[in-house]
Amino acid sequence: MRADIIGRQIGAMKEQNLDAMISCSPENFAYATGFVVPSQPLIRHRHAMVIVLADGRTALFGVDMEATTIARREPDVPARIWAEFTDSAMAVLADQLGELGLSEARIGIELDYLPAGDFAKLRALMPKATFEPCEHILARLRQIKTADEIVLLRKLSRIADQAITDALASVHAGDTEMDIAGGLTRRIYELGAEHFKLLIVATGPRSQLPNVGPSDRVLQRGDVCRVEIFSVIAGYQAGVCRTAVVQQAPPMAECIWRHLVDCKYRIMEMVKPGASCRAVYDAFIAKLSEMKLPPISFVGHGIGLHLHEDPYLGKTPILGRPGEDARLEEGMVLGFEPLCYQTGYGFGMQNKDMLLVTRSGCELLSDYADTDKLLLVQ
């Protein structure tokens, strides 16, 4: 178990008057333990949970298919294993919680992840316990990264940045989007990622489409190419996007790109502890409008165990709480992405980076490629 993370959870439980907290999503299981149960994100009913008690005790709950993985990673933590095809998972969990002395306790649980049917069963099995949503507590804790998390996100940022840069350097006019994807995914693994998420390769007119995978489209002179990938280790991810042109930039591309670069540096000037998320977003929109480019709803967001986490540099800094602002804090890591999909010239452009909020300002984590100018595909 990750002692610093467990300590944070214990402190939060005391503030919220909870006796225990159950992390049941893949992201928050990984947050507490430092590893992902492999099949949990793929098969919803294969529950894996971390139980943290306010008195500091911890326990694990998992399916028999993953028992050896859990035992290998956490041999010293008591674990209850349920049989996938013969047990009622919630009955086994209720029995475990009872043995931990929580039959009449106030328990935080992730109600935005646990299926409603399973929660109904658990509540019926534990009628004297009180269950409270705790996903907002965990989301808030995850906003401020630990030193180890920052080290990992810095590494992941470099991997994604270099992999995209190398992949674009390896292709030429006449190659396809699939050739970019092949070089990119191979390079991601060569540089040390465990896997990746959200591979976007969008060239020519397809660069206007926000989230599209690679196709067999052939690269042509004058194409704009948007390439994005999230490198992943231990459930953590860093998202980087780069924009390139094939041999020669089309009309207005360099002008728009310079404007997006100016937006990037304007954001970096403003990002520091205490800065208003909404103010950063408003400054970006004002800068974007100087070229009459269409606005977007956010220009950045927290990142770590989810692709998107609070806070947002956008219209609504905290999801589900419109009208409220949020302040940046030291230790936050942001994915920020000055972009315009619909430039009006038949192409879209995006420059997504990873940014750490430091004590006095910010640090660019994805600093491999020089993005002051458009990358070039020969």
pLDDT in tens, 224-255: 999 999 999 999 999 999 999 999 999 999 99
Task: Indicate the SS3 state at residue 222.
Answer: coil
Q: DSSP state, 91?
A: H
According to DSSP, the residues that pair with 132 across neighbouring strands are 108
User: What is the per-residue pLDDT for 68?
Assistant: 98
CB atoms within 10 A of CB 292: 7
pTM: 0.95
The verdict on whether omega for the bond into residue 38 sits within 30 degrees of 0, i.e. cis, is no
- Tokens read off for 307: 């692709």
Read off the pLDDT band of 181 (50, 70, 90). very high
Read off the pLDDT band of 319 (50, 70, 90). confident
Per-residue model confidence as pLDDT tens digits over 119-153: 999 999 999 999 999 999 999 999 999 999 999 99
CA dist., res. 201 & res. 178, Å (int): 8
User: What is the per-residue pLDDT for 283?
Assistant: 95
H or E element at residue 310: strand 309-314
Range list of H helices, 170-252: 177-190
Q: Are 277 and 327 in contact (CB under 8 A)?
A: yes
Read off the pLDDT band of 37 (50, 70, 90). very high
Q: What are phi and psi of 23, to 5 degrees?
A: -95, 115
CA dist., res. 5 & res. 131, Å (int): 22
CA dist., res. 48 & res. 33, Å (int): 11
User: What is the per-residue pLDDT for 10?
Assistant: 98
Read off the pLDDT band of 158 (50, 70, 90). very high
What one-character-per-residue DSSP string does 120-177 give?
HHHHHH-TT-EEEE-HHHHHHHHHS--HHHHHHHHHHHHHHHHHHHHHHHT--BTBBH
Per-residue model confidence as pLDDT tens digits over 70-81: 999 999 999 999
Per-residue model confidence as pLDDT tens digits over 254-282: 999 999 999 999 999 999 999 999 999 99
What's CA 91's distance to the chain center, in Å? 32
Angle, helix 26-33 to helix 3-16, in steps of 10 degrees: 120
